[in-house]
Structure 1
């Protein structure tokens, strides 16, 4: 019942306010509404003093609009009574008598002073503070978002906490934007109040003299008194709301209410209070000055300064005690030792002069790293662990280091204020020559203002964040197998179980453990094969595991299940260019195959292996000279052993089996054949 009432209370109140503008209100009801208006403004003012931060009173802009409309409605209702009946209730009459105090001139002067205070000082200041606060809050949003992202990537906060902080930053921007607009209501209300007062005075005198036959003195006395009373009962709540507006927009995020914060901060300087107390006592000695007030205030300030001295001494003693306890030798807990021992899967160490890359300025390393994690997850189907980014004073200037499991995996340069230009005609450009860390291209770090000049020479220009992210992407892709943990495999398996439970239930744990599945997936990732299609991979593993759980056989079964996906990434249009092995040499390799603990190996003597490598290098060079990229194809039984044999000589040359190469409906073009230069028998 209470909840339903609270839902309809504000809508009903707004409808009632609109009725004030149309329907005449009796003087008794107007008294009640005026009292409610004054107390409502007072409650809002006190609430703004006790909130800890502006967002705790986020409904204030809407309340400000409702309160402004309420006061304008009361102005219309009271004006109707003042001009129509010459009487607008006891509250307005009482306020008029108190303000006038027997002299209309004094009452008018006091009222005008009140209007000036509200309009010129409070309202104008609150409007300006709201405008500046809105602009500064919007300008600070990117930096706050970057700080949240930095804490998230560093593991200092969870995803839930990050979402809460982002929502708070967004709500803060919305609040100050709303306050910027709501402050205009306060200004408009003050202007409307002044105009209504003038209308009431002029209209009241005219009505009194023309309709009621009053003398000009009597008309001025009657209607000016009512107008001043009417103005006070509306301007006082308006002044309270204007003060509330200034109070809420000048509050910063604090840990306590305004009273506690003000008391603590005003009493933080003992010397300030002592000097003020001494000055008050000295002013009492000036002839003609009231002695008792100055001496009383001075003694109070000196007493407060003495209390601060006592509290500072107690605080210092407690700090020394706490410091001695902290310095006392104590044994580290197991949790603390484990946290120190923990090794992060991925880290980016930045030299101190590169910290600006994560400060939310022109470059945004953290956002690019997040995008990279999503891209790799979509391309390879692997969950990339969070990348911890921190600075290191041990690194040389402009240097960054990428670590995997605490071990350096890559290092490069990213000078501040420069961009990387890659091309052949860079001699005319100033800058530091370098070698691009991923592709080994020769380039030069040129000043950022020379970017256009570098592009005019035909060079490819890359910003420093892109250099770091590209390097990180290459390292993650090349070490995807190493980064795939057993926990990742469990999460991936649980995800597949929701969409294809039969494939998972049949495979694990009855046929293969998570450790064996992890080894298979790592074998696929080691050859840059995406594992997105886990359902198909698990189905193939289920069939193979019933025959043998040999890791090499399981990996080959998983490869064959992926079919066209393996060869499609090497197609040139619809053509797959291949390098084949001479049938005689291939038969010799099959006969020379031997099992080992690292998988099958081809045992040939050193001369024959060198001849094989020379032939392979020649075939690859001829294909590249013609502008083609090729893959090496062989018999399925040979594929793992040949891949293992040529991996150090072919610079990442893909090795496919005949079935994998022919799985897609494509045209196969042979661009080279690896022959046996000498007829040397297998060992």
Structure 2
């Protein structure tokens, strides 16, 4: 394990703080450490003052603990010297004689005032602010997290920015929680300082009179001056640290330096400064203060107000000029249309009447539902769903919504606000009153009912859903139907990289040696187009690696992959003890295979249109037999015919399920109840 020099120095410093309490120090070393203590306190104060936000000094609670321990060690070392020698070095002596004026009373008063200001004003206020800020920060965390999820879902930020914002929220909560407790260090440090000073005075006089043979007045003068100096040399750094704590917990995030922000906020209005100047002038003219002191100060405020007024007028003119120049420059720029060329993969546009459903501040949960849709599809189909951009569109009807795929509307619907949609599952005979409508996702007949009718409809057996669920369900079905279009090469590369973390040999053999990312994308798109999950990407890649050495046609490779996923396909489609299907007449299969034409762009079926029409009519009759009894129609073909027959039916029945014999597990029982033939 490699140790860094900085870590070693930090470790020795912390250990040295402990030894500082135990080991007696020479006066010279104590002087150096006291100056270092004042320097560190000043550095911390300046860092807190000029930081842009509290998290810029995220280790402040730890620094607070270490500096408090450092001052305590110095206090104990100086106390040992005072009680032993009546002397604690030049620094302590200078604070006692120079800062306190060499007077016991003045020194005591100064020390008491500094300590009281530190404890009751700065430290107590900082402690309260830290406590309230920590509480508010923790209470605001859920709302901030939801806001980040909302921005992520609407496309305002990406995953990296969302992760960065979430980490900042967690860091803020941890920081202010630590500051709430760390503020106690400063407060208790001031209390200990008073106690140590009291002990030094009493103990020093006892030692001086009883053991040193000094008169009471001499002992009082000698030990009190040194003790006051020791108290001041500790109280001043403590005051600096307390001030830094107060600044940090009251600071708000800003992109500008604190000096710039203060100047803008306090000296932003010439009117305010003019009123201040007039007030000071009146005080000088009509009170005993006199004009000698007040008029120069008032003149300074008048001067600043005049300069500020001129600067603001110049800034307004420059702003107008800059705005005009920018507008003209934007018109002249040939690149100003680049931002308009971006097309969102998925868009959900809605009229202004649906805005409350998407606004979290009004109790809407549509954004949360969109997040769940992406997760649900990822678990169900194993594909990456692009971010769904939600936006309002005043051109739509108030309660209408539109779903777009790559900028083109593919579905739309309309809801009745403050109503529920009730659907008859097929076995409810008793009717209810409502406004007739059609369920947008599946085209089922439905009724709009009010809140008062909801419970009654549910009791009778109707399926009742609210408006957000209607939109979310419609959006889910549209995404599933177009998921093969939304799967990009970049998404495929992301999926491949995920597999490569656990199966590097498989991926290195498959791509780019045997198949390109584009080829894999076509295979995965073919699977998704027919609703086959690609979540088991390892098995898919294994099959592709086995057959890609001899087969280059992605459609044929798709068939091999489907056979490799036979267990998953069977478990999804066949759930009954005996499953009924429709088969193809061998003559039909032979005719289809003899009509297959192979080109460089792929293979297609070149059947006579009349034959195709006749074949589709026969297929529809057989399909209607299954749907009439409530069963899902499934067409069973030979492996070599499946893909071509699926291509034939896509135009007429795009949702028809076509599988081959090789895609069925051996333990699944199949019963053919119909056969498609050409009359």
TM-score normalised over the length of structure 2: 0.82
In structure 2, runs of 5+ residues without a counterpart are 598-602
Q: Which residue of 2 aligns with 1:41?
A: 41
Q: 1:396 to 1:207 in 2, by over 3 A?
A: farther
Alpha-carbon distance between aligned partners in 2 of 1:539 and 1:524, rounded to the nearest angstrom: 17
Q: Which residue of 2 aligns with 1:477?
A: 480
Q: How many residue pairs were aligned?
A: 658
Alpha-carbon distance between aligned partners in 2 of 1:431 and 1:207, rounded to the nearest angstrom: 99
Question: Which of 650, 655, 660 is the aligned partner of 1:657?
Answer: 660
Q: Which residue of 2 aligns with 1:569?
A: 572
Conservation of the 8 A alpha-carbon contact between 2:592 and 2:641: no
Q: 1:485 to 1:598 in 2, by over 3 A?
A: farther
Alpha-carbon distance between aligned partners in 1 of 2:453 and 2:272, rounded to the nearest angstrom: 55
Please report how far the alpha carbon of residue 305 of structure 1 lies from its aligned counterpart in structure 2 after TM superposition.
0.7
- 1:178-327 matches, cutoff 5 A: 178-212=178-212, 214=214, 216-327=216-327
Q: Which residue of 1 aligns with 2:620?
A: 613
Question: Which of 544, 549, 569 is the aligned partner of 1:538?
Answer: 544
Conservation of the 8 A alpha-carbon contact between 1:273 and 1:304: yes
Q: Which residue of 1 aligns with 2:673?
A: 672
1:633 counterpart SS class: strand
1:252 counterpart SS class: coil
After superposing the two structures, state which structure 1 stretch, 186-195 or 18-27, moved more: 18-27
The Cα offsets for residues 536-556 of structure 1, whole Å up to 9 and x where unpaired, read as: 55357637746xx5x765654
- 1:257-406 matches, cutoff 5 A: 257-328=257-328, 331=331, 333=333, 335-351=335-351, 354=355, 357=358, 359=360, 369-370=370-371, 372-397=373-398, 400-406=401-407
Conservation of the 8 A alpha-carbon contact between 1:415 and 1:445: no
Q: 1:482 to 1:12 in 2, by over 3 A?
A: closer
Please report how far the alpha carbon of residue 319 of structure 1 lies from its aligned counterpart in structure 2 after TM superposition.
0.6
Please report how far the alpha carbon of residue 312 of structure 1 lies from its aligned counterpart in structure 2 after TM superposition.
0.9
Conservation of the 8 A alpha-carbon contact between 2:356 and 2:363: no
Please report how far the alpha carbon of residue 444 of structure 1 lies from its aligned counterpart in structure 2 after TM superposition.
6.7
Alpha-carbon distance between aligned partners in 2 of 1:107 and 1:127, rounded to the nearest angstrom: 28
Please report how far the alpha carbon of residue 337 of structure 1 lies from its aligned counterpart in structure 2 after TM superposition.
2.1
In structure 1, runs of 5+ residues without a counterpart are none
The Cα offsets for residues 517-573 of structure 1, whole Å up to 9 and x where unpaired, read as: 655544332221234343255357637746xx5x76565455445444432321226
Please report how far the alpha carbon of residue 346 of structure 1 lies from its aligned counterpart in structure 2 after TM superposition.
0.9
Q: Does 2:415 align with 1:408?
A: no
Alpha-carbon distance between aligned partners in 2 of 1:416 and 1:174, rounded to the nearest angstrom: 42
Please report how far the alpha carbon of residue 243 of structure 1 lies from its aligned counterpart in structure 2 after TM superposition.
0.3
The Cα offsets for residues 131-190 of structure 1, whole Å up to 9 and x where unpaired, read as: 222233333444444454455555555544444444333333332222222111111111
Q: Which residue of 1 aligns with 2:600?
A: none
Q: 1:417 to 1:135 in 2, by over 3 A?
A: farther
Please report how far the alpha carbon of residue 283 of structure 1 lies from its aligned counterpart in structure 2 after TM superposition.
1.0
Q: 1:530 to 1:234 in 2, by over 3 A?
A: same
After superposing the two structures, state which structure 1 stretch, 248-257 or 630-639, moved more: 630-639
Q: Which residue of 1 aligns with 2:582?
A: 580
1:66 counterpart SS class: helix
Alpha-carbon distance between aligned partners in 2 of 1:23 and 1:454, rounded to the nearest angstrom: 84
Q: Which residue of 1 aligns with 2:83?
A: 83
Please report how far the alpha carbon of residue 299 of structure 1 lies from its aligned counterpart in structure 2 after TM superposition.
0.7
Conservation of the 8 A alpha-carbon contact between 2:584 and 2:637: no
The Cα offsets for residues 654-676 of structure 1, whole Å up to 9 and x where unpaired, read as: 22233333xx1213242632578
Conservation of the 8 A alpha-carbon contact between 1:616 and 1:674: no
CA RMSD across the alignment: 4.3
Alpha-carbon distance between aligned partners in 2 of 1:153 and 1:658, rounded to the nearest angstrom: 42
- 1:470-549 matches, cutoff 5 A: 470-485=473-488, 488=491, 499-504=506-511, 507-508=514-515, 514=518, 520-531=523-534, 532=537, 533-536=539-542, 538-539=544-545, 542=548, 545=551, 549=553
Please report how far the alpha carbon of residue 508 of structure 1 lies from its aligned counterpart in structure 2 after TM superposition.
4.2
1:111 counterpart SS class: helix
Alpha-carbon distance between aligned partners in 2 of 1:416 and 1:655, rounded to the nearest angstrom: 40
Q: 1:189 to 1:330 in 2, by over 3 A?
A: closer
Q: Which residue of 2 aligns with 1:58?
A: 58
Alpha-carbon distance between aligned partners in 2 of 1:269 and 1:88, rounded to the nearest angstrom: 53
Conservation of the 8 A alpha-carbon contact between 1:137 and 1:172: yes
2:531 counterpart SS class: coil
The Cα offsets for residues 338-391 of structure 1, whole Å up to 9 and x where unpaired, read as: 431332111223555636746589766556545544553454344333322333
Please report how far the alpha carbon of residue 104 of structure 1 lies from its aligned counterpart in structure 2 after TM superposition.
3.5
Please report how far the alpha carbon of residue 494 of structure 1 lies from its aligned counterpart in structure 2 after TM superposition.
7.9
Conservation of the 8 A alpha-carbon contact between 2:583 and 2:672: no
Alpha-carbon distance between aligned partners in 2 of 1:432 and 1:554, rounded to the nearest angstrom: 50
Conservation of the 8 A alpha-carbon contact between 2:277 and 2:301: yes
Q: 1:354 to 1:453 in 2, by over 3 A?
A: farther
After superposing the two structures, state which structure 1 stretch, 102-111 or 60-69, moved more: 102-111
Q: 1:460 to 1:71 in 2, by over 3 A?
A: farther
1:389 counterpart SS class: strand
Please report how far the alpha carbon of residue 122 of structure 1 lies from its aligned counterpart in structure 2 after TM superposition.
0.4
Q: Which residue of 1 aligns with 2:135?
A: 135
Conservation of the 8 A alpha-carbon contact between 2:31 and 2:90: yes
Q: 1:226 to 1:322 in 2, by over 3 A?
A: same
